[in-house]
Amino acid sequence: MRLCRFQNSRNEVRIGLVRDDQTILDLTALGIERLSALLESEEPVRLLEDLVSKNPPSCRCAEVRLLTPVERQEVWAAGVTYLRSKKARMEESDFSASAYDRVYEADRPELFFKSLPEKVVASNEPVGIRKDARWNVPEPELVLVINSHGRIAGYSIGNDMSSRDIEGENTLYLPQAKVYHRSCAVGPVIRLGAAETEARTWKIELRVRRGGVIAFAGETSVGQIKRSLTELADYLFRSQVFPHGAVLLTGTGIVPPDDFSLQVGDEVAIHISGIGDLTNRVVQV
């Protein structure tokens, strides 16, 4: 089951259930005003099945604008969760390469704040590259949608846009390399009802198109993440309170070559086999 937030022709924000035939069942017509009403439920799939049985009105996906499924949650990210990511961070870093080696092997994962909910970019909205950076890359990632009790309620797709030259210059510059205007995209839906064992079978694909031609392509699988998804969620909630839940990007295993950098006008398309597609064009910010 795939949940979404969408804006209809009357500019109303609604909650919907996306069907395989690309129709959306309007759950707001049945009183569901926020995704959190479902994500906080002990049995969201059963609740959704009950709602569907009431035959809510529907519309076509093409008739509405899909919004990011992030409502009021803080957005965080995990780093160096794939072996490929560890190697790339060590290669780009001038003097702190050993820090990435150590965190990959450590008991405690790297976690950092990524975005306020109101700054998250939806699918088909622009993502940004910094004016003061020379080496900018997309980072396609599985997203954990975690409710206020710390339970993984669903999954989405994320793009953790990064300025590799800024991070490589000094690890203390990580917030500037990672947290800036239009640096975080999440969407277009939240996949419910999948256990971690299923999620770890999903393939992640990245395609960057430039002038209609593939400028870079790569793929990996969720199964290559070293840590369990539950472990990442548990660490995020240690000594933390998230009254509206949290969204956690789980790291990337797709790293473009050192001579590749995003350009204005590029189209970044991320596909996760169990969820769908997140697509954004690049602008300079």
Q: What is the pLDDT of residue 104?
A: 86
Taking the CA atoms of the chain, what radius of gyration do you get in angstroms?
18
Which of 38, 55, 34, 57 is CA-nearest to residue 47?
38
Burial class (CB within 10 angstroms; exposed 0-12, middle 13-18, buried 19+) of 100: buried
**Which band of pLDDT confidence, cut at 50, 70 and 90, is reported for residue 85?**
low
> Could you say which DSSP state residue 158 is in?
E
Going by the DSSP 8-state scheme, the letter that residue 221 receives in this structure is E
Tens of pLDDT, residues 98-144: 677 788 889 999 999 999 999 999 999 999 999 999 999 999 999 99
Per-residue pLDDT of 229-276, as tens digits, reads: 999 999 999 999 999 999 999 999 999 999 999 999 999 999 999 999
pLDDT digit string (tens) for 211-224?
999 999 999 999 99
Yes or no: say if 134 and 166 are a contact pair by the CB < 8 Å rule.
no
